[in-house]
């Protein structure tokens, strides 16, 4: 008889709390999808306004996290847990949580600084802590970059604001800096004229600011020329690669030597 009553109690508990657990899981997973859908809808709607993509991306992430918190509370309430007590418990544990998650909270504050001061925005190419990539998104905790070889780099926002940021996209024009060396036996004036002709023939090089071709230094094994030209941001790498190739081919045709460092080893007797 006792065993029968125990079985009935177990079945009753399973039927009662089992349905609550299933309901809570349903609320969580469905609510999570709804929160994600609403955050994406926000981005679409905000995209039709004057708000920039960087701010929209950050706000979308913040909205998703806030909705997800509401969904979690709803799931707990379905389990019969008093959510007011739960919130009070979180408040009581706030100091401990704050100490444990201080890096995460600092990333949230750093994210707000990035969105407010805009040192860079989505689609900008930046360099931070030795990583170069295009900004894909800025969320509450981190910034996501895509490198030129299609790697995804996730950097905490706190790391970004604590380091120097190089933004390659903030200005419309950039300067291409190149150095070419010739042998001391070669004709310096002729080499300089060749470099000037190559630069003048490159249509992507801007006339203002004007290009510069000048002797940079008298090196240990070569006379080095500095070639500095200004180009539109999008033309930077195209001009960089083309000038290197054009100079090498033209120097070969004209018999101008590009020396390389040599080491002389002498044996003492």
Domain segments of the chain: what residues?
Answer: 13-92, 118-167, 173-254
Please name the helix (run of DSSP H) or strand (run of DSSP E) that holds residue 143, with its range, or none.
Answer: strand 142-146
Rg (Cα) of the chain, in Å, rounded? 32
pLDDT value, residue 200: 95
Cis, bond preceding 209 (omega within 30 deg of 0) = yes
- Whole-structure pTM value: 0.60
If one looks up domain 13-92 in CATH, what number appears? 1.10.287.1260
pLDDT value, residue 2: 46
Q: How many residues are given for the chain?
A: 269
pLDDT value, residue 251: 96
What's the pLDDT tens digit per position in 109-167?
A: 777 778 777 888 888 999 998 899 999 988 878 899 999 899 999 998 888 888 899 99
pLDDT value, residue 222: 93
Please name the helix (run of DSSP H) or strand (run of DSSP E) that holds residue 176, with its range, or none.
Answer: strand 173-182
Please name the helix (run of DSSP H) or strand (run of DSSP E) that holds residue 222, with its range, or none.
Answer: none
CA 64 to mean position of chain CA atoms: 21
Better-predicted residue by pLDDT, 135 or 266: 135
Segment 5-12 mean pLDDT: 53
Distance CA 260, CA 24 (A): 72
Residue range 173-254 in CATH 3.40.50.1370: no
Following CA atoms 74, 80, 85, 89 in sequence, which dihedral angle do they give, to the nearest 10 degrees?
-80
* Banded pLDDT at 269 (limits 50, 70, 90): very low
Residues ≥6 apart with Cβ < 8 Å to 236: 174, 176
Better-predicted residue by pLDDT, 244 or 119: 244
239: how many CB neighbours lie within 10 A of its CB?
A: 22
CB distance 155 to 142 below 8 Å: yes
- % pLDDT > 90, the chain: 38
CB distance 183 to 260 below 8 Å: no
Of 99, 102, 74, 106, the closest CA to residue 87 belongs to: 74
Of 5, 25, 23, the closest CA to residue 15 belongs to: 23
Better-predicted residue by pLDDT, 150 or 13: 150
- % pLDDT > 70, the chain: 72
Segment 227-239 mean pLDDT: 95
In the sheet that holds 142-146, the strands lie side by side as 152-156, 142-146, 131-138, 125-128, 165-167
Average pLDDT, the chain: 79
What's the pLDDT tens digit per position in 33-82?
A: 877 777 777 766 666 655 666 666 666 777 777 777 777 777 777 666 66
Distance CA 16, CA 51 (A): 49
pLDDT value, residue 4: 44
CATH number among 2.30.30.30, 3.30.60.50, 2.30.30.60, 2.60.90.10, domain 118-167: 2.30.30.60
């Amino acid at each position: 008889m006792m065993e029968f009553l125990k079985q009935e109690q177990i079945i009753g508990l399973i039927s009662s709390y089992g349905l609550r657990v299933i309901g809570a899981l349903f609320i969580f997973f469905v609510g999570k999808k709804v929160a994600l859908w609403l955050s994406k809808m926000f981005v679409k709607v905000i995209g039709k306004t004057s708000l920039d993509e960087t701010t929209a991306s950050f706000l979308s992430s913040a909205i998703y996290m806030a909705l997800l918190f509401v969904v979690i509370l709803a799931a707990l309430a379905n389990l019969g847990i008093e959510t007011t007590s739960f919130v009070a418990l979180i408040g009581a544990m706030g100091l401990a949580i704050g100490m444990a998650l201080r890096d995460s909270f600092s990333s949230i504050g750093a994210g707000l600084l990035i969105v407010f001061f805009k040192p860079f925005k989505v689609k900008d190419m930046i360099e931070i802590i030795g990583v170069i990539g295009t900004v894909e998104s800025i969320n509450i905790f981190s910034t996501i970059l895509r490198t030129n070889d299609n790697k995804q780099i996730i950097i905490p926002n706190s790391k970004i604001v604590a380091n120097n940021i190089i933004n390659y996209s903030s200005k419309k024009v950039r300067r291409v800096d190149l150095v070419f060396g010739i042998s001391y036996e070669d004709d310096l004036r002729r080499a300089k004229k060749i470099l000037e002709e190559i630069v003048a023939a490159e249509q992507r090089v801007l006339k203002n600011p004007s290009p510069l071709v000048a002797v940079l230094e008298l090196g240990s094994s070569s006379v080095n020329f500095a070639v500095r030209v200004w180009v539109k941001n999008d033309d930077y790498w195209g001009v960089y690669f083309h000038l290197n190739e054009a100079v090498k081919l033209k120097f070969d045709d004209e018999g101008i030597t590009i020396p390389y460092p040599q080491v002389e080893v002498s044996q003492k007797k």
